[in-house]
Amino acid sequence: MHSSSALIDIYRDYLPMSESTPVITLGEGNTPLVKAVNLPQQLGFPKLNLHFKLEGLNPTGSFKDRGMTLAISKAVEEGCRGVICASTGNTSASAAAFATKAGLPCFVLLPAGHVALGKLAQAILYGAKLISIDGNFDQALNLVKDVAEDCHLTIVNSINNYRLEGQKTAAFEVIEQLGKPPDYLFIPVGNAGNISAYWRGFKLWKNMGKAAMAPRMCGFEAAGAAAIVLKRPIAEPETKATAIRIGNPASWKEAEKAALESDGWIDSVTDDEIMDAYKLIARSEGIFCEPSSAAGVAGLIKHLKAGAVLTDSTVVAVLTGNGLKDPNAAMSAIKIDLNPIEATVEKVKLAIGI
């Protein structure tokens, strides 16, 4: 038993924590790893040993909380006066929540018109100062870098190394939950921080002898924002998966290294492939993730369709964010008739139709 339920306390020995680091926690981490039971069959690979890491069950609904608990705790330790970030939505929600808990002001720069409703609502309610900019995430991040120093604010994007250090705890949990490392990890790639963080975690436990091997890291960008795959920054990235609508990933090099060192790869998936996977995960497994989260599973399906045989492998797909973040995506993905019927037994039976 751990004496504290705070993630950074549980994994304190593997993190840059000092005696004087305060523990700012919202009860993050320890997210479920759930085995897929219907999806493998539906894909035509009934023996596929697939597990989902449900990161949408973190306190603010995304994996960002793992890194944010450490970034904000260190910011408090270092006596910072406030925090700032650029975000496609989830980072801003997480930063706003943890900053509030720590009593710090939080400023978030958001690409106007491209942030899912739930994320916006969170940042507003947690009390962050929202600054909507006429530009995309990459431009917002450049602005953050330009203003942070002058305003004496701490950047809590994943260019803040504490973010990735905190996020690497997800790899430890996966190993503990499976009882061993998986053979493959399928994961979405946006700013490329998360894939880099998982690799840090898997590599660390392998090097420390706590795990026999490390998985192949398989990352997936959206086709309209596939800078790493195309080997050039994308000036105007476009994808329905707004969380990964990023044209110049900050952790580009570390993510490439993760793929190379682990004998994995980074590829892209189209919006159609992402939205198909998004619906399939909900309808086969009862798991509601956000569209961007489905990019890893879309990548897995693409790989299987290309002829890969993963029957003897253990596969983990990371579902990075909660589907409730983006209700509009769900409503436009499935067309249904919501017109009310007469409130009678007869009409309801007719509607049920069985």
Catalog residues that contact ligand F0G under the rule CB under 6 A.
62, 64, 87-91, 158, 188-194, 243-244, 290, 292-293, 320-321
CB of 131 vs ligand F0G, minimal distance in Å: 14
* Helix (H) / strand (E) containing 131: strand 129-133
CB nearer to ligand F0G: pick between 29 and 45:
29
Contact 282, 222 (CB under 8 A): no
Q: What is the DSSP string of 240-251?
A: S-GGG--SS-TT
Residue number with CB closer to ligand F0G (21 or 196): 196
Q: Cα separations (Å) of 264 from 124, 296, 297?
A: 39, 13, 15
- Residue 216: Cβ within 10 Å count: 19
Residue 49 or 144 with smaller CB distance to ligand F0G = 144
Comparison of 100 and 239: residue with beta carbon closer to ligand F0G: 239
Provide the minimum distance between the beta carbon of 66 and ligand F0G in the complex, in angstroms, as a whole number. Answer: 11
Residue from 56, 134, 29, 123 nearest 85 by CA: 123
Q: Which two tokens stand for residue 218?
A: 């398989």
DSSP-derived 3-state class of residue 192: coil
Least Å distance, CB 70 to ligand F0G, is 15
The nearer residue to ligand F0G, 21 or 290, going by C-beta atoms, is 290
35 touches 54 (CB < 8 A): no
Q: What are the Cα distances from residue 290, in Å, to 58, 169, 278?
A: 14, 22, 7
For the bound state, the minimum distance from the C-beta of residue 243 to ligand F0G, rounded and expressed in Å, comes to 3
Long-range contacts of 208-212 (CB under 8 A, 24+ apart): 210/175, 211/175, 211/180, 211/181, 212/180, 212/181
Minimum CB separation of residue 1 from ligand F0G in Å reads 31
By beta-carbon proximity to ligand F0G, the closer residue of 197 and 301 is: 197
Q: Residue 43 or 289: which CB sits closer to ligand F0G? A: 289
- Minimum CB separation from ligand F0G for residue 347, in Å? 40
158 closest CA partner among 249, 23, 292, 96: 249
Minimal distance, residue 91 CB to ligand F0G, in Å: 4
In the bound state with ligand F0G, the residue whose beta carbon lies nearer, of 132 and 313, is 132
Angle between helices 193-207 and 252-261 (to 10 degrees): 40
Phi, psi dihedral angles at 266 (to 5 degrees): -120, 125
Tally the residues of the chain. Answer: 354
User: What's 346's DSSP letter?
Assistant: H
Instruction: Give the shortest CB-310-to-ligand F0G separation in angstroms.
Output: 22
CA dist., res. 266 & res. 260, Å (int): 9
In this complex, which beta carbon is closest to ligand F0G, that of residue 84 or of residue 189? 189
Shortest approach of ligand F0G to residue 318 CB, angstroms?
8
